[in-house]
Amino acid sequence: MDFLSNTKINFMALKKAGFTLSSALAIGSILMLMLGINLGIDFKGGTMVGLSFSEDVTIQEVRSSLENITIDGNEFDLSGEEVKYFGSNSDVMIKIKSFENEPKNFGQGVINNIYEIMKNKAPEDKNEFVLSLGTVSPKVGTELSGKALWSIVSALVLILFYISIRFEFRFAIGAILALVHDILITLGIFSLTGYEITLSTIAAFLTIVGYSLNDTIVILDRIRENMKSSGTVMFENTINKSINQSLGRTLITSLTTLLVIIVLLIYGGEIIRPFAFTMMVGVIIGTYSSIYIASGFLASIYKSSN
Amino acid sequence: MNNGLRTRLLLILFIFGLGVYSLFPTMRYQFLSDEKKSLLSKNEVEYLEENTIKQGLDLKGGIYIVLEVDLPQLINNLASNKDKKFEIFLDDLSNQYSNNTGDFFTLFEKNAIDKDLKLPRYFINYGKTKDQITEQLKLEADDAINRIIEIIQNRVDQFGVSEPTIQKQGSDRVIVELAGIQDSERARSLLQSTALLELMIVKNVESTNTIIRQIDNLANTSNSIEDKKTDVENLFSTDEGANDLQFSSLLIGVGNDIGIEKNNLDKLNAILEQESIKQLLDATNGQFLLSNSAKTFINDFGDEEEIYIVYHLNKNAELTGGVIENAQVRIAQSGVTAGQPIVQMEMSSAGSREWARITGANIQKRIAIVLDKKVHMAPVINSQIFGGATVIEGLDSVNEAEDIAIVLRAGALPVPVTIVEERTVGASLGADSVNQGTYSMIIGLLLVILFIVLYYRMSGFIASFSVIWTLILLLGVLALLQATLTLPGIAGLILTVGMSVDANVIIFERIKEELRKGKAIRSAIDAGYQRAITTIVDANLTTGIAAAVLYQYGSGPIKGFATVLFWGIIVSMFTAIIVTRFVFDFITSRRNIEKLSI
């Protein structure tokens, strides 16, 4: 099959539109993030409890069971905390912020209270009732956020360094811009959905970084190769040519990756879903950004320097 | 076949063989039924377990707990001549430490300087200068953590968990991973319990009545309780008059003991935490402790009330758990507790002598058996006890009795620990995500193969072959590294599949391009590979750098992701550049192909 060869699409003609779209999306994402990003307990500290009832329950019901939680003689009203379904109407996830004088084994205490109150809808074996329980102290949360941020930033710096050596500094800036663009916009769309950011979703974001980087380098590599013969005169044409030449590869790779991700999104189960969703958005944006951000940036910067 | 091809074939076969060989234990283990597993010898099972790819707790179910050692408490234990100034220093230090991510001893030194605390005054046994003392205390802390790890290891072993992981993290944390644990509540209390056993004399009724009167007087004059209540977030603070906060009015007579209703516990604690009352108790060498569990009583109005017994005890223990040599669960044969589980303890010979002396000197008094500051029982000493036998009763279940016996045998932790991070995944949730994850991976992979075969025909088969081998080899490497596969690790696998397909696509598209230029098949393949290699190497190396950095700095799940990604890159470069190249060369060397199916 060969319908993707010899395309002559003038990608760079839409460069301005691309920049505008990206800027709009980026600003929108920053606004979304400022409005409130749904950070999971990994970064904020707190307790997260997943419970599996033996029959369907309403969120209201669970919430009212949280009104009067007694642990070691201390009473807590947790009815204002986040409660949502997890996969089915009989499984729920409860996210509780951390308290200053939290008693020992707070999460288990909460579970025990709910179990007592909603006993008629809970499975007999308490171990089957508990799907998951996570507790992170605010201190550890701060540490984890610091580590995650630090690792992403240092990876970006090293990549910048490598591309500068192998290509040119300007290429590196383009590639990093594309990466930041991808992460930012995916984060924005991610926070629109209300999924929360956990260490696992960070891994998904890193996957996007890897993927988008791969995609960008392939195109930049083509541009570098074509530059050898045609230099930077009519640079936009060279860039267009390069993108067209690698278009077959770009589309096929994106398509195959999307295939795996979509299957994962549909059949992968509740835990993997936010993860697969992030990757799907990231792959689409990553493909787009290789063309319009990384290459588009090169086109503009050479235009202004020539 | 010419020599060049043969060498390459041998190399490839060798590596494939190695990959399959290292995956073999994993495959065998996966397909082994529990029945057959029980037929294998212990060594064989151990070998298999050691050499399989382990599933992370997020996939398998289990608990991951990070325990933080209470270093401020350790410092408090080690200090002597403690005064008000030292208490304030320690309070501030532990507050700062719980909100600060820095190193404890740096904070310790900084605070000591800021507060102009003369360290040698409190730590005379640990050195003469500030530096010496800090150094020595660091060693003590290190020693304490190592002991804690040893004790926890001991407890976990006795609890019977397969493949527990217990490791030190930083200078003050211990990570415990227990896979496949069903009862996380029980495991958690087993890990966390300090297991400090104390035998304490119960004060007589007269002095208890006196102290209650004195506390009432003090509590009435001080109004700091109200202030205290407002800072305790989320307590149900109802507006009550000072009279209701009287100590004696909270207490209820329960037989010969005094009790307190469960709902009044916070009020009791608020009173006992007042400075003046602490001082009073210190001065009379006494303390109040509660029973380990509440008992349900029907009150005068016919309502159920849960009541804890309040004990007034000597401040200092007569004997502590260090003297315990053995502890076993028994079922009580006689008395009021007949049929209930009890823990029977044996003491060392020195402990037995001491115990005989204590019981001899306190006949007709009550002695409280206190575990982790909770009173389990307080029997009257009827006669002197020789031989060091003691029991703990008042336990809810056989499980509880077993756990207490375990912690007593394994020994008490030198310092309390707290859980700072915990992740428990129920076995069912883990199993669900493994199944769904695996199925969707397989379906996804099949779709990808179908797609590239449709698109690239014959060459698509070669690419599929290389993708499948990439996965096999990658899993083989993970088995060799004895790595743990977690959810983010699966993401790494997906990315690897993606990159491996990508490498093939890059090569094929290049070959097609060269063919379009009119080159012969052999030279198109040569040129295609040559040009594609730079692209693939650059793209993969950049991602590899990212993976290496993430491995260096990342924690837990991120690290798992980075491991898979890093090796995935290396393996996929090998299969795409060397293996598929070999296949193409092999095909074209055999026959003179006129048309390449690509």
Q: Are residues A231 and A299 in the same domain?
A: yes
Q: Is B561 on the interface with A (CB under 8 A)?
A: yes
Residue A295 neighbours by CB under 8 Å, 6+ apart: A11, A12, A174, A219, A220, A223, A239, A242, A243
CATH of the domain at A172: 1.20.1640.10
- The answer to whether B206 and B284 are in contact (CB under 8 A) is no
The amino acid present at B383, given as its one-letter code, is: S
Mutate to test the interface with A, among B505, B510, B552, B597 (most CBs of A within 10 A): B505
Q: Are residues A92 and A147 in the same domain?
A: no
Q: Which of chain B's residues have a Cβ under 8 Å away from the Cβ of A137?
A: 68, 419-421
pLDDT > 60? residue B231: no
- Contact between chains at A210 and B553 (C-beta distance less than 8 A): no
What was the pLDDT predicted at A49?
92
What was the pLDDT predicted at B228?
45
What was the pLDDT predicted at B235?
45
Q: Are residues A223 and A116 in the same domain?
A: no
Calculate mean pLDDT across residues B386-415: 83
Residues B221 and B56: their CA atoms lie apart, in Å, by: 58
Residues 357 through 376 of chain B touching chain A, CB cutoff 8 Å = none
Q: Which of chain A's residues have a Cβ under 8 Å away from the Cβ of B443?
A: 263, 267
**A&B contacts, CB < 8 Å:** 276
Confidence of residue B229 (pLDDT cuts 50, 70, 90): very low
Residues B310 and B271: their CA atoms lie apart, in Å, by: 14
Calculate mean pLDDT across residues B518-538: 91
pLDDT > 60? residue A192: yes
How confident is the prediction for chain B on average, in pLDDT? 84
Q: Which of chain A's residues have a Cβ under 8 Å away from the Cβ of B420?
A: 136-137, 139-140
For B469, the token pair is 């081998």
pLDDT > 50? residue B238: no
Cα–Cα–Cα angle for B420, B421, B424, rounded to 5 degrees:
140
Q: Which of chain B's residues have a Cβ under 8 Å away from the Cβ of A1?
A: 454-456
Secondary structure of residue A124 in the 3-state scheme? coil
Determine, yes or no, domain membership for A217.
yes
Return the minimum-mean-pLDDT range out of A121-125, A156-160, B484-488: B484-488
For B511, the token pair is 């070959």
Pick from B122, B435, B151, B72: which is nearest to A272 by CA?
A: B435
Residues B155 and B153: their CA atoms lie apart, in Å, by: 5
**Cα within 13 Å of Cα(B217), Cβ side:** 7
Number of independent structural domains in chain A: 2
For B388, the token pair is 């060091």
What was the pLDDT predicted at B471?
92
pLDDT > 80? residue B36: no
What was the pLDDT predicted at B222?
54
pLDDT > 90? residue A114: yes
- Contact between chains at A154 and B553 (C-beta distance less than 8 A): yes
Q: Are residues A152 and A243 in the same domain?
A: yes
Instruction: For chain A, give the percent of residues with pLDDT over 70.
Output: 97
Please provide the DSSP assignment of B202-227 as one string: BPPHHHHHHHHHHHHHHHHH--HHHH
Determine, yes or no, domain membership for A2.
no
Determine, yes or no, domain membership for A273.
yes
Residue B417 sits at φ, ψ, to 5 deg, of -125, 150
Residues 156 through 185 of chain A touching chain B, CB cutoff 8 Å = 158-159, 162-163, 166
Residues B461 and B482: their CA atoms lie apart, in Å, by: 31
- Contact between chains at A133 and B184 (C-beta distance less than 8 A): yes
Q: Which of chain A's residues have a Cβ under 8 Å away from the Cβ of B516?
A: 5-6
Q: Are residues A109 and A163 in the same domain?
A: no
Residues B468 and B482: their CA atoms lie apart, in Å, by: 21
Name all contacts of A115-124 with Cβ < 8 Å and 24+ positions apart. A117/A65, A118/A53, A118/A57, A118/A61, A118/A62, A118/A65, A121/A53, A121/A54, A121/A55, A121/A57, A122/A51, A122/A53, A122/A54, A123/A52, A123/A53, A123/A54
Residues A300 and A15: their CA atoms lie apart, in Å, by: 9
What was the pLDDT predicted at B240?
43
Q: Is B276 on the interface with A (CB under 8 A)?
A: no
The DSSP call for residue A232 is T
Q: How far is A294 from chain B (nearest CA, A)?
A: 14
Please provide the DSSP assignment of B348-371 as one string: -HHHHHHHHHHHHHTTTSBEEEEE
Calculate mean pLDDT across residues B153-160: 84
Determine, yes or no, domain membership for A267.
yes
What was the pLDDT predicted at A304?
67
Q: Is B458 on the interface with A (CB under 8 A)?
A: no
**ipTM attached to this prediction:** 0.83
Pick from B428, B286, B417, B403: which is nearest to B343 by CA?
A: B403
Secondary structure of residue B471 in the 3-state scheme? helix
pLDDT > 90? residue B587: no
Return the minimum-mean-pLDDT range out of B136-150, B249-263, B355-369: B249-263
pLDDT > 60? residue B242: no
Q: Is B418 on the interface with A (CB under 8 A)?
A: yes
- Contact between chains at A249 and B502 (C-beta distance less than 8 A): yes
Determine, yes or no, domain membership for A6.
no
pTM, full prediction: 0.77
Determine, yes or no, domain membership for A67.
yes
- Contact between chains at A272 and B437 (C-beta distance less than 8 A): yes
Q: Are residues A101 and A169 in the same domain?
A: no
Residues A90 and A87: their CA atoms lie apart, in Å, by: 8
Q: Are residues A163 and A242 in the same domain?
A: yes
| Residue position matching structure tokens 């096929």 | A252
Calculate mean pLDDT across residues A48-55: 92
- The last residue of one of the domains, among A136, A160, A186, is A136
Secondary structure of residue A51 in the 3-state scheme? strand
C-alpha Rg value of chain A to the nearest Å: 24
Determine, yes or no, domain membership for A3.
no
Q: Is B265 on the interface with A (CB under 8 A)?
A: yes
The DSSP call for residue A92 is E
Q: Are residues A131 and A148 in the same domain?
A: no
Cα–Cα–Cα angle for B224, B226, B229, rounded to 5 degrees:
110
Give per-residue pLDDT as tens, B76-112.
888 888 888 888 898 888 888 877 777 888 889 888 8
For B82, the token pair is 């403690």
Calculate mean pLDDT across residues B376-396: 83
Q: Is A279 on the interface with B (CB under 8 A)?
A: yes
Paired with A177 in beta bridges are none
> Around Cβ A16, how many Cβ atoms within 10 Å?
11
- Closest CB from B422, B437, B561 relative to A135: B422
Q: How far is B99 from chain A (nearest CA, A)?
A: 6
Comparing alpha-carbon positions, the chain A residue that sits nearest to B543 is A210
Confidence of residue B476 (pLDDT cuts 50, 70, 90): very high
Secondary structure of residue B82 in the 3-state scheme? coil
What was the pLDDT predicted at B236?
44
Confidence of residue A197 (pLDDT cuts 50, 70, 90): confident
Please provide the DSSP assignment of B24-53 as one string: HHHHHHHH--HHHHHHS-HHHHHHHHHHSP
Residue B83: alpha-carbon gap to chain centroid: 36
- Contact between chains at A140 and B420 (C-beta distance less than 8 A): yes
Q: Is A103 on the interface with B (CB under 8 A)?
A: no
Residues A197 and A152: their CA atoms lie apart, in Å, by: 15
Q: Are residues A88 and A32 in the same domain?
A: no
pLDDT > 80? residue A177: yes
Secondary structure of residue A188 in the 3-state scheme? helix
Pick from A1, A5, A219: which is nearest to B460 by CA?
A: A1
Return the minimum-mean-pLDDT range out of A87-96, B37-46, B159-168: B37-46
Paired with B62 in beta bridges are B179, B425
- The last residue of one of the domains, among A89, A115, A136, is A136
- The last residue of one of the domains, among A101, A120, A136, is A136
Return the minimum-mean-pLDDT range out of A119-128, B5-14, B16-25: A119-128
Determine, yes or no, domain membership for A131.
yes
What was the pLDDT predicted at B221?
62
Cα separation of the two ends of chain A: 40
What was the pLDDT predicted at A4?
66
Instruction: For chain B, give the percent of residues with pLDDT over 90.
Output: 20
Comparing alpha-carbon positions, the chain B residue that sits nearest to A264 is B440
Q: In A199-234, which ranges are continuous DSSP H helix?
A: 199-230
> Around Cβ A298, how many Cβ atoms within 10 Å?
28
Q: Are residues A50 and A131 in the same domain?
A: yes
The DSSP call for residue A39 is B
- The answer to whether A183 and A25 are in contact (CB under 8 A) is no
- The answer to whether A29 and A188 are in contact (CB under 8 A) is yes
What was the pLDDT predicted at B532?
92
Instruction: For chain B, give the percent of residues with pLDDT over 70.
Output: 95
Domains of chain B and any CATH numbers? 62-192+418-425 (3.30.70.3400), 198-394 (no CATH), 426-590 (1.20.1640.10)
CATH of the domain at A123: 3.30.70
pLDDT > 80? residue B219: no
Secondary structure of residue B374 in the 3-state scheme? strand
- Closest CB from B265, B420, B495 relative to A137: B420
Residue A71, domain extent = 46-136
- Contact between chains at A269 and B433 (C-beta distance less than 8 A): yes
Q: Which of chain B's residues have a Cβ under 8 Å away from the Cβ of A259?
A: 444, 447-448, 451
Residues B440 and A267: their CA atoms lie apart, in Å, by: 6
Q: Are residues A170 and A262 in the same domain?
A: yes
Name all contacts of A158-166 with Cβ < 8 Å and 24+ positions apart. A158/B545, A158/B546, A158/B549, A159/A213, A159/B542, A159/B545, A159/B546, A162/B541, A162/B542, A162/B545, A163/A217, A163/A220, A163/B542, A166/B538
Q: Are residues A185 and A271 in the same domain?
A: yes
**Cα within 13 Å of Cα(B121), Cβ side:** 10
pLDDT > 80? residue B286: yes
What was the pLDDT predicted at A59?
92
What was the pLDDT predicted at A203?
73
